[in-house]
A and B are shown apart, each in its own frame.
Chain A
Amino acid sequence: MAEAAIHDDGRDVVETHHAAVAHGHHGPPTSFIRKYIFSIDHKVIGIQYLLLALFSVFIGMIMSVLMRMNLTWPGTKWPILATLFPEGAPGGVMTPEFYLSLVTMHGTMMVFYVLTTAPQGGFGNYFLPIQIGAEDMAFPNLNMLSFWVTFVALAVLVAAIFVSGSTVIGPTGGWTGYPTLSAIGDKLNVPGMGMGMNLWIISIAIFCIASLLGALNFIVTLLNLRARGMTLMRMPLTCWAWFTTAVLALLAFPVLLAAGVLLLLDRTAGTSFFVPGGLSNGETVLPHNGGSPILWQHLFWFFGHPEVYIAILPGMGATSHILSTFARKPVFGYRAMVFAMFAIGLLGFFVWGHHMFISGMSPYTGMAFSILTLSIGVPSAIKTFNWLGTLWGSQIRFTTPMLFAIGFVSLFVAGGITGLVLGQSTLDLSMHDTYFVLGHFHLVMGVAAIFGMFAGTYFWFPKMFGRMMNETLGKIHFWPTFIGVYAIFIPMHIMGIVGMPRRYAAFTEYEFLRSLDPLVMFVTIAAIVTALVQFLFLYNFFWSMFKGEKASANPWEATTLEWVVPSPPPHDNFAGNVPTVYRGAYEFSVPGAPEDYVLQTTPDATSENVTPAAHGGVEVSGNGGNGHKH
């Protein structure tokens, strides 16, 4: 019957589908280059993305420590910096422009090259096809292209630090690159606004293209390649998260791309999209005229706000998945979780103005954005409640991934809740561009989303590399990190309340910041300790890759498809034997079942649907949707 429906569209569709299933059999490559470098296997590409993120996150982290050192001990000589950056830190003393270039690079690295790569391109690439029962992504070649384009973008960004000429340091415009500073900074002799700024824009533009292609691939894969029986409402929440993220990326990145091209034109072709007339460098009037700096802010944040959800949604997915697995309990309110994710994604496109309350945008628009912003807290709260609901009455196994998933919930609430303060246009009058904002987004993005990545890494590592990560080291990593990040970022809120502005190279100039000196010192020490602890993770990661205990196919006793296949999975994931799915993703502690988990592929013993009577009225093949029946 389904076939009839397909047929009226002509032979091709059916053929395509078979071809699609068949193209998984592109035979394992043998040469080193095809296998590990220009691979079209989604699993290899996933790991490549992870390694790219791992590189970026450590660079970004080291930058953040340098920033903290400069803020806490301004004017101190750090001999090593004198050798590494003779221009940025002459004599080892960091210049203010060097500080700003660190801030810019730190933000850019972290937002784009860490949080937009690992959670989606890394884990999503590796596990989305397996979790839905596909043998690869829909477009394996495009997938490879996405990764390598991302790689080029990163290379361009790194080059931006090192270009010399009029600039001896990286771009200094902040990760938001606001014009007119970013557009005419070089004409105003602001250091770091020459070639470095151009490369920054080019890097972002290339990155946009890569993300777009990746997003397209994810959506097609999820829609077209689900194995038989994998209905939408049986998908793991991770898949929903990756899917929603891909939709956001597909719609948001093109806008940043367009904005980036216009900014580049302003800088290089003399256009004036973002530069109004009548500006002066103190001697002569600049030749630009007619543009608007606010236009950039609209375009940037139309992308930027969805972007922060692109950063967090995969973490939410992983958290739901891991919480349920180690709580040995089905996800509480599966459907509500899915709808909440969609609501966040949808509303996320209508709140960008909350970054612009103070920008000179119409105050009436500001009011509308303010109220919409507060409503986006509702689906986020729903998710939080459901996570707590999942833990309620559970049987928690405290593995390292579970610790990080619980940490995610804690940090997400801590960081998200201050969004309700910033979202009020009135309160933003004082809080905007202070450390309160930094506290907010570091908790929610800088660490909650990162905790999602940690949880994912500890959880999926055995599947990816066939070996367990060391649990003891993992736990030693967790405790100080969890305490450390709170110690770094909660005090930042207080600094913001006192009024400490962000992107200040030093706090030496203002009397009203004096009282904060002890807090500044405290935060820096916490940051250094926390950063050091991360090397433990790095060590564990690479040590376990070669020396870890061998992992079985399903070491966590989980239910979804990735645990049906060997660790690591064979080249085409299922060795040509694509499974059929019989139930929802989180069937834990099913009464009457032999184990406390039921794999999605386990057929029911007697018939298709276990008779409700057999389990006291509970429908076993139900998928976690509240009362959902088919």
Chain B
Amino acid sequence: MGRALGVLIWLITLASVLLFTNGSWWFPPSISEHGPAYDRQFLITIIVVGLAFTAAQIGLGYAVWRYSARRTGERAVYSHGNNKLEALWTVITAIIFIGLGIAGQRVWAQLHFRPAPAGSAQVQVVAQQFQWNFHYPGADGKFGRTDPAKINDSSLNFIGLDEADAASTDDSVVGSLVTQVNRPVELTLRARDVTHSFWVPELRFKQDAVPGLDIKVHFTPQQVGRYEIACAELCGQLHYKMRSFLLVLPEPEYRELTAMSQAQFQKRVTELFTKYPLARR
């Protein structure tokens, strides 16, 4: 029995490790500036915890293999513990765990403690059940005023843009996020009904959009292409369908697009979708 269990524990450990290392399934390639640093931190962490996991399971498997009771009536070692050992492993684990924790702050600090770099593109994001609205300031670089009282889904004014405001005339509100490659973008995330969460696996980035808050976040996409945006916070029955796209465009295409009027913008985005198909995996 002991041997069987020991071997089983080892086999499970082996299978788990293989599942993580065989490469069939892993992160999609990263496309953001902080992505490589994220991936590195993840890899370091997964190796450290993987080693701890393996060591603990091997130890456990060995103990059950080795110490099955024999019929001879032999007794177990009579010991209540060992304070030196106790202190030793406390200190070692504390150093490793807290070290990991401190190392794990780098990307976080880079993204969240620093303001968006000067010259970042600005986009206001308004999440609603069950779609994303991206609001671009247009050529004047100014966002038109919005007012919840003006929200009207049947006339397609999803974010309550105030037409009376001069700054709003050249604004576009589109269902996709368009960014320029290698240029930082700052999003202002809002939600008009319930909490949603902006999530693009390739960006290694996620942020809740919370009713009542304007949450500013920034990142820099570095790879031209089209990527899926998912909603990662439960927001109702169609949460699983709240999909949109992130388009990362070369500078000329981006410039051309953002100078367009809303109707052209929308149309052009759809054309670009065919030009930039989703990566097949």
**A residues within 8 Å of B by Cβ?**
95-97, 100, 172-174, 178, 180-181, 184-185, 188, 190-192, 275-283, 285, 291-294, 327-336, 358-360, 363-364, 366-367, 370-371, 373-375, 377-378, 381-382, 384-386, 388-389, 391-398, 403, 406, 409-410, 413-414, 417-418, 420-421, 423-427, 429-430, 432-434, 479, 482-483, 486, 490-491, 493-495, 497-499, 501, 503-507, 509-512, 514-516, 519, 588-591, 596, 618, 622, 624-627
Contact = CB atoms under 8 A, between A and B. Distances in A.
A329 B77 contact: yes
A556 B195 CA distance: 53
B70 interface: yes
Contact of B193 (A280, A375, A417, A504): A280
A420 B105 contact: no
B197 A433 contact: yes
B79 interface: yes
Most buried by A among B104, B151, B158: B104
A201 to B, nearest CB: 16
A358 B9 contact: no
A346 to B, nearest CB: 15
Interface stretch (B117-125, B209-217, B247-255, B266-274): B209-217
A363 B217 CA distance: 11
Contacts of B160: 280
Nearest to A495: B25
Contacts of A391: 60, 63-64, 67
Interface string B34-46: 0000100110011
Contacts of A495: 25
Interface stretch (B136-144, B162-170, B227-235, B256-264): B227-235
A510 B228 contact: yes
A396 B278 contact: no
8 contacts: A181-B235, A292-B212, A336-B81, A393-B79, A396-B67, A406-B64, A410-B9, A429-B204
Contact of A501 (B80, B102, B199, B280): B199
A424 B206 CA distance: 14
Nearest to A423: B101
Given A494-B25, A618-B78, A624-B80, A420 B45 contact: yes
B1 to A, nearest CB: 4
B25 A515 contact: yes
B97 A375 contact: yes
Contacts of B152: 282-283
B240 interface: yes
B183 interface: no
B182 to A, nearest CB: 21
A586 B81 CA distance: 12
A395 B108 contact: no
Given A388-B56, A426-B41, A627 B83 contact: yes
B130 to A, nearest CB: 10
B101 to A, nearest CB: 3
A95 B108 contact: no
Interface string B1-15: 110010011001001
Nearest to B68: A396
4 residue pairs, one from A and one from B, having the closest CB atoms: A276-B212, A424-B104, A374-B101, A499-B201
Contact of A370 (B105, B113, B233, B280): B105
Given A279-B193, A491-B19, A501-B231, A511 B240 contact: no
Most buried by B among A280, A495, A514: A280
Contact size range, B? 35 or more
Most buried by A among B8, B9, B112, B212: B212
B205 interface: yes
Given A363-B113, A382-B93, A429-B205, 10 more contacts: A184-B193, A285-B148, A294-B213, A358-B208, A391-B60, A392-B63, A395-B70, A596-B76, A622-B80, A626-B83
Contact of B81 (A334, A363, A424): A334
A596 B28 CA distance: 57
A430 B206 contact: yes
A208 B38 CA distance: 40
Nearest to A176: B234
Contacts of B8: 479, 482-483
Interface string B68-94: 111000111111111101100110011
Interface in B128-160: 128-129, 148-149, 151-154, 158, 160
B90 A100 contact: no
Contacts of A409: 60
Contacts of A406: 5, 60, 64
Most buried by B among A373, A432, A507: A432
Nearest to B278: A511
B80 A334 contact: yes
Most buried by A among B76, B149, B152: B76
A188 B153 CA distance: 13
Most buried by B among A292, A293, A360, A622: A360
Contacts of B276: none
Given A333-B82, A398-B1, A328 B75 contact: yes
A363 B110 CA distance: 11
Nearest to B105: A367
A336 B102 contact: no
A433 B233 contact: yes
A491 B64 CA distance: 26
Nearest to A512: B228
A466 B66 CA distance: 33
A375 B98 contact: yes
Contact of A511 (B80, B215, B228): B228
Contacts of A430: 27, 38, 42, 201, 204-206
A168 B236 CA distance: 15
Contacts of B100: 374, 420, 424
Contact of A330 (B79, B82, B149, B231): B79
A421 to B, nearest CB: 5
B89 A279 contact: no
A525 to B, nearest CB: 16
B80 A378 contact: no
A271 B104 CA distance: 40
A432 B80 contact: no
A618 B75 CA distance: 15
B8 to A, nearest CB: 7
A93 to B, nearest CB: 14
B6 to A, nearest CB: 10
Given A178-B195, A426-B104, A432-B232, A275 B211 contact: yes
Contacts of A191: 237
